[in-house]
Amino acid sequence: MKNAKKATLKWQGIIRIVLLVVCGIVLGANVYHINAKSLVGDQLPMPFGYGTAIVLSGSMEPELSAGDLILVKETNDIKENDIVVYQQSGSLVVHRVIEMDDSILITKGDANNVADAPIVITDVKGKVFASIPAVGNLIGFIKSPVGTIIIIIVAIALVEIPRRREKQKDEEERQQIIDEIKRLKDE
């Protein structure tokens, strides 16, 4: 019985540590993204040449929908038909390359009737290499101030609740010992 209890406590500790690490990574990423956006004006920071973004409109339907999470890789190898991400007037644009002429690209959303204004290839942040449907909505919430506050509360709860339970258990054991000592003295 005691070994099973020890194993359970061990697993609870491991799970708590993993959840705290995840909370720390999410908070760190949020701080990094906020600083990149506010200090540098970079809407898609790409540490190590990779980044993520959330599709905000239906201009790339049916390939990409609003709320999809896209994974972007920094690359100079761009060809016609690639879906690229570029920053325009402080916003990210996720459209398909429909025409190339040396270093000039013409892009267009799959659902749009009109092509975008030409851009220079150096304006391209990267190429979309994968997407995860609807996950962007969750990521967007986690990055929001409310989501960040919830993560902080969860992290505190993960540390504080087990600590209080252990303290209460220790106090109960201490009280049992005191009661046993009193009982033995009375005999």
pLDDT digits 0-9 by tens, 102-128: 888 999 999 999 999 999 888 888 899
Per the domain annotation, does 49 fall within a domain? Answer: yes
Q: Residue 35 — pLDDT band, cuts 50, 70, 90?
A: low
Centroid of chain to Cα 148:
11
- Is residue 162 in a domain? no
pLDDT, residue 9, reads 67
The predicted structure's pLDDT at residue 34: 63
Overall average pLDDT of the 45-54 stretch: 78
Q: Is the pLDDT of residue 87 over 80?
A: yes
Q: In this predicted model, what pLDDT tens digit does every residue of 154-166 receive, in sequence order?
A: 878 877 888 788 8
Q: What is the CATH number of the domain that holds 74?
A: 2.10.109.10
| pLDDT of the residue at 40 | 54
In the sheet with 91-101, reading across from the earlier edge strand, the strands are: 50-54, 69-73, 124-132, 83-88, 91-101, 104-108, 119-120
Query: What is the per-residue pLDDT for 107?
Result: 93
- The count of domains in the chain is 1
Within a domain: 87: yes
| Domain limits for position 62 | 43-135
pLDDT at 84: 93
Residue 29: inside a domain: no
Residue 74 lies in a domain: yes
Higher pLDDT, 72 or 25: 72
Stronger pLDDT, 115 or 28, i.e. the higher one: 115
Q: Is residue 150 situated within a structural domain?
A: no
Q: What is the pTM of this model?
A: 0.64
pLDDT number for residue 41: 56
Q: Chain-wide mean pLDDT for the chain?
A: 82
What lies within 8 Å, CB to CB, of 64 at 6+ separation is 55, 70, 83, 94, 128, 131
Q: Which residue has the higher pLDDT, 51 or 127?
A: 127
Half-sphere exposure of 3 (CA within 13 A, CB side): 0
What pLDDT score was predicted for residue 155?
79
